[in-house]
Amino acid sequence: NPSTTSTSTVTACDNYTWNGSNYTGSGTYTYLTTNSNGCDSTAILNLTINPSTTFSVSVTECDTYSWNGQTYTTSGVYTYVTTNSNGCDSTASLNLTINPSTTSSVSVTECDSYTWNGNTYNSSGSYSDLTTNSVGCDSTVYLNLIINNSTSSTVSITECDSYTWNGNTYDSSGNYSYLTTNSVGCDSTAYLYLTINYTSSSISVETYCDNYTWNGINYTNSGNYSYLTTNSVGCDST
């Protein structure tokens, strides 16, 4: 009776179990048993073991991260299984850290203009400034700005001898200013253009017989008399 032999060629990933034995490396293996007529039966295995592969990557990203068709918004460890070049499993591990972008807002009321992060604004509005927070992500600050305006007013006055304005008495012509606060809390400057004209007086001594007519009045007695009129600049002339 003849002995028999058989040969098989196998390619497997990582390990291969054959006739009760587990093989983890490529090679040629034999297994001896007895065939149906009681003679030796030799089985020969030509085995190729290809390895599965694994690799990991660590990523830090802001807000979201897309990897292998998936978008992640939270930190964690994620895996993706595919096939490597020799047809075995290829497992990729992602160690992901998601840091958040941040936003904040501030409301400011200012007079005339406001300088913020290097920019000067002179009108009300909403403005934003983009910078980086402590974890390297976007930090957006919003400014809600109200600009109130200072005001000014001008008045021209002509007065005799002196003029009292905002608690101060002026007795000479000139330009004067007074600083206060308007209804929105900003500067209100009032300008006074003042002309001071002066009253005048004159004295005359007259000696007449019987009577004397002066400024439309007839006097028959000696005495001191006065007459009030207006001089050329509109002030009292006595």
Give percent above pLDDT 70 in the chain.
Answer: 100
Q: Which residues contact 116 (CB under 8 A, 6 or more apart)?
A: 108, 127, 129, 143, 145
Q: Which amino acid belongs to residue 25? A: G
Task: Give the predicted TM-score (pTM) of the model.
Answer: 0.61
Band (pLDDT 50/70/90 cuts) for residue 191 is: very high
pLDDT (0 to 100) of residue 134: 94
126: tokens are: 């909403």
Dihedral pair phi/psi, residue 2, rounded to 5°:
-85, 145
pLDDT (0 to 100) of residue 205: 95
Gap between the Cα atoms of 189 and 161, Å rounded: 25
Contact 64, 99 (CB under 8 A): no
Q: Which residue has the tokens 């200013």?
A: 177
Which pLDDT tens digit goes with each residue over 139-149? Answer: 999 999 999 99
Q: Which residues contact 170 (CB under 8 A, 6 or more apart)?
A: 162, 163, 164, 176, 192, 194, 196
Contact 127, 116 (CB under 8 A): yes
pLDDT (0 to 100) of residue 15: 96
pLDDT (0 to 100) of residue 170: 97
Residue 228: strand, helix, or coil: coil
Q: Which residues contact 125 (CB under 8 A, 6 or more apart)?
A: 145
Contact 100, 108 (CB under 8 A): no
Which pLDDT tens digit goes with each residue over 85-112? Answer: 999 999 999 999 999 999 999 999 999 9
Sort residue 161 into left (φ over 0), alpha (ψ -120 to 50) or beta.
Answer: left
Gap between the Cα atoms of 215 and 237, Å rounded: 13
Band (pLDDT 50/70/90 cuts) for residue 44 is: very high
Say how many C-beta atoms besides its own lie within 10 A of residue 47's C-beta: 19
Band (pLDDT 50/70/90 cuts) for residue 221 is: very high
Contact 114, 96 (CB under 8 A): no
Which pLDDT tens digit goes with each residue over 128-140? Answer: 999 999 999 999 9
